[in-house]
A = this chain, B = another copy of it.
Amino acid sequence: MLESLKEQVYAANMALFDSQLVTLTWGNVSGIDPTTNHVVIKPSGVPYEKLQPSDMVVVDLSGKVIEGELNPSSDTPTHVFLYRQWQDIGGIVHTHSKWAVSFAQAGLSIPVYGTTHADTFYGEVPVARSLTQNEVETAYELNTGKTIVENFEDEARDHLAVPGILTNDHGPFTWGQDAMAAVNHAIALEAIAEMAYRTQMLNGGDNQLPSFLLDKHYYRKHGENAYYGQRRHSV
């Protein structure tokens, strides 16, 4: 079942690996089937070099394994919580990509320093709050998902306009309309983090992008009046 989605999620996992955002087995991609609400996700701890489409694990929205011989990613409870909360996303990526993790470990969000950021993220890439000891010890991966959604709700942040976050002390999660879109957001986030780091080192980070330039770049790529790329928009 879900063979086509397995192929997609497998291809997205390999695209993540090929983009050099992954060290060893640190990272996972999932995708959801909107008809069954079943989620296809990378198995836990399997080297990318040996991964096959048939290794993908199918779980339901509670995280229970529906199909597959391998354990799903240990981050599965985070993935399925996000799918339960945000029914308009189709894919999720988690990595330990080095530039994004550097900000996560410092407990710092990534401000909008330039148009590259604005092209993909309509506002800062936030850092979620730290989990409490109780949250870590009881249902760590689920609670990680809860701090993500909490951040977007508390700040009235649009999760489609800002398709990623840094979990505190941990690393980035990104999402998108499908698994490959989430991978592209992970790649964009890593590049943005790298440039933001250097911008901060060069000038202390005191020149954030004016909001009209954020609007311009975001909306030339997204929404009804977008004119970047090859999509034709019917208005």
Q: Which residues of A pack against B, CB within 8 Å?
A: 23-26, 43-46, 70-71, 74, 96, 98-99, 101-108, 113-116, 119, 130-131, 133, 136-137, 140, 169-171, 184, 187-188, 191, 194-203, 207, 209-210, 212-213, 216, 220, 227-230
CA distance A188 to B24 in the complex (A): 8
CB-nearest residue of chain B relative to A227?
B74
Contact of A169 among B71, B96, B201, B213 (CB under 8 A): B213
CA distance A140 to B26 in the complex (A): 37
Known: A115-B169, A213-B131, A230-B71. A105 touches B199 (CB 8 A): yes
A26 touches B169 (CB 8 A): no
Could you tell me the distance in whole angstroms from the C-beta of A187 to the nearest C-beta in chain B?
Answer: 6
B74 touches A101 (CB 8 A): no
Known: A108-B203, A203-B108. A230 touches B101 (CB 8 A): no
A46 touches B230 (CB 8 A): yes
Which residue among A119, A199, A227 has the maximum number of chain B CB atoms within 10 Å of its CB? A199
B96 touches A228 (CB 8 A): no
B114 touches A195 (CB 8 A): no
A104 touches B114 (CB 8 A): yes
B198 touches A102 (CB 8 A): yes
B188 touches A113 (CB 8 A): no
A230 touches B197 (CB 8 A): no
Which residue among A198, A201, A212 has the maximum number of chain B CB atoms within 10 Å of its CB? A198
CB-nearest residue of chain B relative to A167?
B115
Known: A136-B212, A191-B23, A230-B43. A171 touches B202 (CB 8 A): no
Could you tell me the distance in whole angstroms from the C-beta of A135 to the nearest C-beta in chain B?
Answer: 10
Known: A101-B195, A200-B202, A202-B200. A207 touches B107 (CB 8 A): yes
CA distance A101 to B188 in the complex (A): 14
CB-nearest residue of chain B relative to A196?
B105
Known: A105-B114, A195-B105, A212-B136. A23 touches B187 (CB 8 A): yes
